[in-house]
């Protein structure tokens, strides 16, 4: 597609999204919820169409020998479609933040000031081949009154289109403009570049969802604010005062429950003061669960299967059944290790010592810090926030799980009786 | 200065700022307040040094024939130095947001989750020739636990250095690291470019304070999040149900109290239904106060001194004694005019009709919307937020006046009893 055609196409989407955002910002909760409920119903009703579309994507993917893991992420079945519908329907039950008064005060001159939650506006979402992002991101943006411009991976284009058609059916049923949720109707890669730099007039923010290279590219090239995380190099620190059985359960769960999610632990830190009692069981649990362990000298002494860790390992987000492990001199060295090598995503301390725990929770500068709980709880659903559009490792606007509440802005409403400024 | 030298210099500032930010994030309120109080005292004690430094800046400015308005912004006198000290001292009394728990909830699995306010980290401030920005921005960043890297205009370099020395004295007196507030020690313009794109590793956000071209450049080139406003094209809408005396007072104050601030009104919209009674007095008040009025045909019919308005006038932020004026068909046309031409900064409606007011307040999508009050109240001090670092017209992170509370982020603290994720 020519550059001019891409530009024309995306400018058109941008204009339509801006107009739709104006309508969405004023749409009552009931209308947005009606659209979500109707979209969920449409997903259920059109299950066979969605699966047929997915089959076209899978056939194309197999033809180019897509890897098993990627193919698995792309694949839908009846159960997955049902889960996608449920996930959209669940957004209905979330509180609508728009219009909430988050602060209200009175000035000595008689002015009253309210801070009122409003939508961000138009949100662009750039994602790879998970078809469910189409409906999840569309639903969350809609609930928070934002117009969405979705740009999915080319491998999932038929699946995404089929799901998008259901979202459109929901919008239509509720009398909301179809441009509230638009799917970029081209898989031309130039469209991504244009969203990053050519649409500053229309896009209020961009959300990349995908691998590190996608997120890094969006961060590097985007000319509008970005919500996204680069990595989750998460740590579990087992303190001298950790109860051993709890430490074992948390370390194993944090690493191995699901290794491919951003809240999975990537490094295990063990206090030197409990090496004699705690280290061997922790390491053996992991090895026996099929995890490769890369350790410092002390860790390697535990078991011959432990491989040597290099400096690089402390920086690495494996997203796989691999963990780096080392011994540290107490909580302060653990905090220092995390500050140096971590990605400020999620870290957990296991200890029965309250003071040590509070020191860790206060001093570790990550989006989520946990005491005596698995890092795998770093998740919007587990936080009770409902669906999320991702976990932010930014410190700006939104940090941690990004749900409906984080997809909003605010304005100040000031009421007076004729006040002029002296 | 060579590119290598700029890079080395600013990387050094960045590293030092990051280390200082770690200390500041944990500094108790009393320590930060002690630094602010000592800095204010130092500004008072060193008044003559500051004035002497300012005289050097003024002499250099006169030598290059700087314009009167810019010279006036650069000029300090005893009274202005006293005001600068007071402004720093006032930050002591503001609440310290850091550590505040803004939300707390319990999950069915027994986890308790808190959202806790933390600093943003390292903030870069790029500003033009107002020396007071050095102390104001430094003080606000310090209160919110952020390290600041200040890059002031070359014209005010001696004044800024003298004020910065007072901030350093305050930090030292309180036992805080000097790198908590650093002044870029070169006026080489390449340093600005380096801050915009070369310091992503160190800067968590950038705040441009200055004219449109500076802010536009920062927005265009910055590789980190930006807090700043481009323009305040503010509107006053006088509705058919406006009390005439109130409308006259508000329109005159909104435009003429101070014409050079971003909250000054730039366009007056008058409801066609009250043209016969309201238009002439509104326009004559402005003309008699020395304001140039550029109007549509109806407005020009009021007085021969009214000049014709062009399409460009509706877009223009004059920051001067000029106002564009036109007649609109009621509140909805006023809202549409603001949506089309406005900059989403601050708009006011004057009306005695509550329903009309609420329609305007809800539908106008600006950082600050007012009913029966002057647009010149768009100000952190007037909002009771204390000093501000600017007014944001962004919808991301912070909107409206940016004070201490807006210079923060948050993290989630999760406390458990051994929970693992099923």
Domain CATH for A256: 3.40.309.10
Q: Across the interface, which of A243, A366, A416 has its CB nearest the CB of B370?
A: A416
* pLDDT of A228 strictly over 90: no
* pLDDT of A129 strictly over 80: no
- Inter-chain touch B397–A113, beta carbons under 8 Å: no
* A241 and A148 both lie in a single domain: no
Q: Tell me the shortest Cα–Cα distance from B41 to chain A, in angstroms.
A: 29
* pLDDT of A93 strictly over 90: yes
Residue A22 touches chain B, beta carbons under 8 Å: yes
- Inter-chain touch B225–A419, beta carbons under 8 Å: no
Q: Read out DSSP for B285-300?
A: HHHHTT-EEEE-HHHH
Residue B5 touches chain A, beta carbons under 8 Å: no
Q: What is the pLDDT of residues A146-179, one digit of tens each?
A: 999 999 999 999 999 999 999 999 999 999 999 9
Residue A291 in tokens: 């995890």
Distance (Å, whole) CA B173 – CA B196 = 32
Structural domain includes residue B393: no
Percentage, residues of chain A above pLDDT 70: 100
Q: Tell me the shortest Cα–Cα distance from B121 to chain A, in angstroms.
A: 8
How many domains are there within chain A? 2
* B164 and B270 both lie in a single domain: no
Nearest-CA residue of chain B relative to A19? B339
Interface test with chain B among A409, A410, A422, by most B beta carbons within 10 Å? A409
* pLDDT of B231 strictly over 90: no
Nearest-CA residue of chain B relative to A200? B220
Distance (Å, whole) CA B160 – CA B150 = 10
Structural domain includes residue A394: no
* A175 and A254 both lie in a single domain: no
Q: Across the interface, which of B225, B384, B416 has its CB nearest the CB of A225?
A: B225
* A190 and A271 both lie in a single domain: no
- Inter-chain touch B371–A419, beta carbons under 8 Å: no
CB < 8 Å from B in window 403-422 of A: 409-421
Nearest-CA residue of chain B relative to A225? B225
Distance (Å, whole) CA A142 – CA A35 = 9
User: Chains A and B: how many Cβ contacts under 8 Å?
Assistant: 187
* B198 and B252 both lie in a single domain: no
Residue B15 in tokens: 């590293």
- Inter-chain touch A111–B373, beta carbons under 8 Å: yes
Residue B367 touches chain A, beta carbons under 8 Å: yes
Structural domain includes residue B419: no
Nearest-CA residue of chain A relative to B336? A22
* A216 and A335 both lie in a single domain: no
Residue B22 touches chain A, beta carbons under 8 Å: yes
Q: Tell me the shortest Cα–Cα distance from B316 to chain A, in angstroms.
A: 18
Can you list the alpha helix ranges (DSSP code H) found in A275-390? 280-288, 297-300, 311-315, 330-341, 354-363
- Inter-chain touch A412–B368, beta carbons under 8 Å: yes
The answer to whether the CB of B232 falls within 8 A of the CB of B345 is yes
Structural domain includes residue B294: yes
Comparing A164-173, A352-361, B201-210, the range with the smallest average pLDDT is B201-210
Structural domain includes residue B389: no
Chain B residues lying within 8 Å of A382, measured CB to CB: 107, 421
* B52 and B177 both lie in a single domain: yes
Structural domain includes residue A415: no
CB < 8 Å from B in window 211-230 of A: 220, 223, 225
* B240 and B213 both lie in a single domain: no
Number of Cα atoms under 13 Å in the Cβ half of residue B304 = 0
The CA radius of gyration of chain A, in Å to the nearest whole number, is 24
Structural domain includes residue A131: yes
Beta-carbon neighbour count of residue B352 at 10 Å?
Answer: 13
- Inter-chain touch A396–B409, beta carbons under 8 Å: yes
For residues B283-292, give the mean pLDDT.
98
* B364 and B348 both lie in a single domain: yes
Q: What is the pLDDT of residues A181-227, one digit of tens each?
A: 999 999 898 999 999 999 999 999 999 988 888 888 998 889 889 99
Q: Please tell me which residue, A57 or B216, carries the higher pLDDT value.
A: A57
Q: What is the pLDDT of residues A357-416, one digit of tens each?
A: 999 999 999 999 999 999 999 999 999 988 888 899 888 999 999 999 999 999 999 999
Distance (Å, whole) CA A244 – CA B78 = 67
Structural domain includes residue A422: no
* pLDDT of B212 strictly over 90: no
DSSP E strand stretches across A241-321 = 265-271, 292-295, 307-308
Residue B243 touches chain A, beta carbons under 8 Å: yes
CB < 8 Å from B in window 71-130 of A: 105, 107, 111, 113, 118, 120-121
pTM (2 d.p.) = 0.93
Distance (Å, whole) CA B236 – CA A309 = 66
Distance (Å, whole) CA A210 – CA A187 = 16
- CATH code: domain of residue B407: 3.40.605.10
Four-residue CA torsion sign, A313, A314, A316, A318: positive
Q: Across the interface, which of A369, A379, A399 has its CB nearest the CB of B409?
A: A399
Pairing of strands A292-295, A307-308: parallel
CB < 8 Å from A in window 301-360 of B: 339, 357
- Inter-chain touch A22–B339, beta carbons under 8 Å: yes
Q: Please tell me which residue, A73 or B170, carries the higher pLDDT value.
A: B170
- Across chain B, mean pLDDT equals 95
* pLDDT of B311 strictly over 80: yes
Write out the residue range of the structural domain in which residue B278 sits. Answer: 234-382
Q: Which of A119, A118, A127, A124 is nearest to A14 (CA)?
A: A124
- Non-local (6+) Cβ contacts of A63 within 8 A are none
Q: What angle do CA A104, B405, B146 make, to 5 degrees?
A: 175
* A272 and A254 both lie in a single domain: yes
* pLDDT of B68 strictly over 90: no
* pLDDT of B219 strictly over 90: no
Nearest-CA residue of chain A relative to B244? A418
| Residue ending a domain, choose from A199, A228, A257 | A228
* A356 and A317 both lie in a single domain: yes
* B206 and B302 both lie in a single domain: no
- Inter-chain touch B396–A415, beta carbons under 8 Å: no
Residue B56 touches chain A, beta carbons under 8 Å: no
Q: What is the 3-state secondary structure (H, E, C) of B206-227?
A: EEEECCHHHHHHHHHHCCCCEC
- Determine phi and psi for A257, rounding to 5 degrees: -55, -55
Interface test with chain B among A415, A417, A422, by most B beta carbons within 10 Å? A415
- Inter-chain touch A397–B396, beta carbons under 8 Å: yes
Residue A260 in tokens: 């491919």
For residues B128-151, give the mean pLDDT.
94
Confidence of residue A91 (pLDDT cuts 50, 70, 90): very high
| Residue ending a domain, choose from A203, A228, A253 | A228
- Inter-chain touch A365–B22, beta carbons under 8 Å: yes
For residues B327-346, give the mean pLDDT.
97
Residue B260 touches chain A, beta carbons under 8 Å: no
> Tell me, what's the pLDDT at B1?
82
């Amino acid at each position: 597609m020519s550059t001019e055609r891409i530009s024309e196409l995306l400018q058109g989407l941008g204009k339509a999204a801006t107009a739709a955002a104006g309508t969405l910002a004023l749409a009552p909760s009931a209308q947005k919820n009606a659209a979500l409920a109707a979209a969920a119903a449409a997903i259920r009703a059109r299950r066979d169409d969605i699966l047929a579309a997915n089959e076209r994507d899978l056939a194309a993917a197999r033809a180019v020998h897509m890897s098993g893991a990627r193919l698995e992420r792309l694949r839908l079945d009846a159960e997955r479609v049902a889960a996608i519908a449920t996930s959209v329907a669940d957004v209905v039950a979330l509180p609508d933040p728009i219009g909430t008064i988050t602060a209200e005060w009175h000035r000595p001159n008689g002015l009253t000031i309210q801070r009122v939650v409003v939508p961000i506006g138009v949100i662009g979402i750039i994602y790879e081949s998970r078809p469910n992002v189409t409906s999840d991101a569309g639903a969350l943006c809609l609930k928070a009154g934002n117009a969405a411009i979705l740009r999915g991976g080319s491998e999932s284009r038929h699946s995404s289109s089929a799901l998008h058609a259901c979202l459109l059916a929901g919008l239509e049923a509720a009398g909301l403009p179809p441009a509230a949720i638009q799917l970029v109707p081209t898989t031309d890669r130039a469209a991504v570049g244009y969203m990053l730099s050519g649409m500053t007039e229309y896009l209020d923010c961009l959300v990349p969802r995908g691998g590190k290279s996608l997120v890094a590219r969006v961060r590097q090239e985007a000319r509008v604010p970005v919500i996204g995380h680069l990595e989750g190099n998460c740590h579990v620190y087992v303190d001298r005062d950790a109860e051993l059985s709890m430490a074992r359960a948390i370390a194993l769960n944090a690493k191995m429950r699901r290794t491919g999610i951003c809240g999975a632990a990537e490094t295990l830190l063990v206090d030197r003061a409990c090496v004699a009692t705690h280290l061997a069981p922790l390491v053996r649990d992991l090895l026996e669960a099929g995890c490769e362990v890369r350790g410092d000298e002390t860790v390697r002494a535990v078991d011959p299967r432990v491989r040597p860790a290099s400096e690089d390992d402390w920086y690495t987000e494996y997203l796989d059944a691999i963990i780096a492990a080392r011994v540290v001199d107490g909580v302060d060295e653990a905090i220092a290790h995390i500050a140096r090598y971590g990605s400020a995503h999620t870290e957990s301390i296991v200890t029965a010592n309250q003071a040590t725990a509070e020191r860790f929770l206060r001093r570790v500068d990550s989006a989520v810090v946990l005491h005596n709980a698995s890092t795998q709880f770093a998740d919007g659903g587990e936080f009770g926030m409902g669906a999320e559009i991702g976990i932010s490792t930014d410190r700006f606007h939104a940090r941690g799980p990004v749900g409906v509440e984080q997809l909003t802005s605010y304005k100040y409403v000031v009421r007076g009786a004729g006040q002029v400024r002296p």
